[in-house]
Structure formats: C-alpha cells, structure tokens
Amino acid sequence: MKRETNFSVKATESGMGVNEKTDQQLVEEVRAGHRASFSELVKRHQRGLLRLSVRFMKDLDIAQDVVQEAFIKAYEKLNMFEGRASFKSWLYQITVNTARNKLRENRYDFSDIDDVQLSVAPIAERTLVHNAVSDMIQLEVDRLPFKQKTALVLRIYEDMSFAEIAAVMECPYDTAKANYRHALIKLKEVFETQSELKKWTEDVGGFFMELNTANFAEAD
C-alpha cells in the first residue's frame, strides 16, 4: 500500500532559538497527534541528513529520496523511539541504514554534483587548489569500507561524539572508535604517498590535522 505521508527535504534551514522546543518535546507532540510538530523536526534536521546522504549516494536526487524515505520511516516508527539515544542519532541511524540498503539494492552510475558543496573546511572553498584537494580527499573517503566511512563522516563532517556514532551505527562505543581509527589510518597511508595531499595537509584543516597526530583515541 502506498504511503501517504510526504515530507519535503528541500525546505529552508531552521536553527534552534532560545525559546524553541527540544526534539523530545516535539516528538511527544507528534505522538499526541500534532503532525505539524514533525514538520518542525524535518526542518531542523533535513540539511544534516541530506549532507550525510549525499556523501553516500553521490547524487542529489537520490540522496533526497533517501532522506525523504528516512523521515517517512521515522514518522511511521515514532512510537518505537525510546529516547535512550538522542532523536538526532536515531534519525541518522535510520538514514544510514536507508542509504546502505539502497546501495545494496541498486548499482548507480554516479556523476559529480557541482551544485552541492561539501568541503572539508571553509578554507577549502577559497582556491581552486584547495577544491582539487577536497575532491581528492572525498575520492579516498569513498573508497573506505562502509562502516569505516560512516564513522569518519559522522565524526569529521557531522561533529558527532563516539557515543553518538555508536548509537547511529548500532554498535559498541569501542567499535565505533575502532572504525574511525582504521579509516584514519588508511587515509593517512594514502595521503603520505600523494605529494599533492601531503603538501596541503595543514592548510585545508578538517581531519588532516588529526592524521598528523598519534592520538587517534581522542576523547569525546
């Protein structure tokens, strides 16, 4: 049966103000029958979920489909949300699983996305050199195993703690940290063999700085 629920993932960004309700308060309102409160949750989290989805799907339209499907699943399963992790972590978990399933079910001929800027750091947008380096970084990130890529993307690009990453990936805390560590080690090995990447390591920031330190077991 076709699902009637529809949430746009192209709406404008919405930030939380001092007097705005928490995610949990909005969730309780939805459970009480106030559907409009879920639209507020969509506005609040859609940009982060879309940014995450694009990193996996590499196509804006497909990424939007993934996010919309994730929101629909979240709405339909809202009564299953127990609040042991944050609502954001729960949403990201659903989105990651949706993206993974879609990648398994389909083989896409992905093309580059020129209209979606997902740079490693603001400085990476300032020069063509930095943009080229950013593309090289993304290529290597895309080659990582799915779990390692997920941990790295959530940690570096979404600024999540390892506890949050563990909740999203549905794995123990130490496993989340291990996946992140292995991702960094693999990238470090690649970067050390590519002079273009090594040259701009300190300039572009982001996870490059972490690759140059021995402290991979960073605290939350």
pLDDT at 16 over 90: no
**Position of tokens 């779990």?**
147
User: How many Cβ atoms sit within 10 Å of the Cβ of residue 194?
Assistant: 12
What band does 157 get if pLDDT is binned at 50, 70 and 90?
confident
- pLDDT at position 146: 92
pLDDT at 147 over 80: yes
Record the pTM.
Answer: 0.65
- pLDDT at position 117: 34
Domain boundaries of the chain, sorted by first residue: 23-105, 122-211
Token readout for 168 is 């999203």
SS3 8: coil
Q: What single letter denotes the amino acid at residue 12? A: T
Q: What single letter denotes the amino acid at residue 151? A: A
Determine the Cα–Cα distance for residues 199 and 193; give it in Å rounded to an integer: 11
pLDDT digits (tens, 9 = 90+) for 27-62: 999 999 998 899 999 999 999 999 889 888 888 889
What band does 23 get if pLDDT is binned at 50, 70 and 90?
very high
Q: Domain 122-211 maps to which CATH number in 1.10.287.130, 3.10.129.10, 3.10.180.10, 1.10.10.10?
A: 1.10.10.10
pLDDT at 2 over 70: no
Determine the Cα–Cα distance for residues 47 and 212; give it in Å rounded to an integer: 30
**CATH no., domain 23-105:** 1.10.1740.10
- pLDDT at position 11: 42
Range name among 50-59, 117-126, 138-147 with the lowest pLDDT average = 117-126
pLDDT at 26 over 50: yes
Mean pLDDT of 120-135: 45
Closest CA to 94 of 119, 66, 115: 66
SS3 206: coil
Determine the Cα–Cα distance for residues 161 and 176; give it in Å rounded to an integer: 10
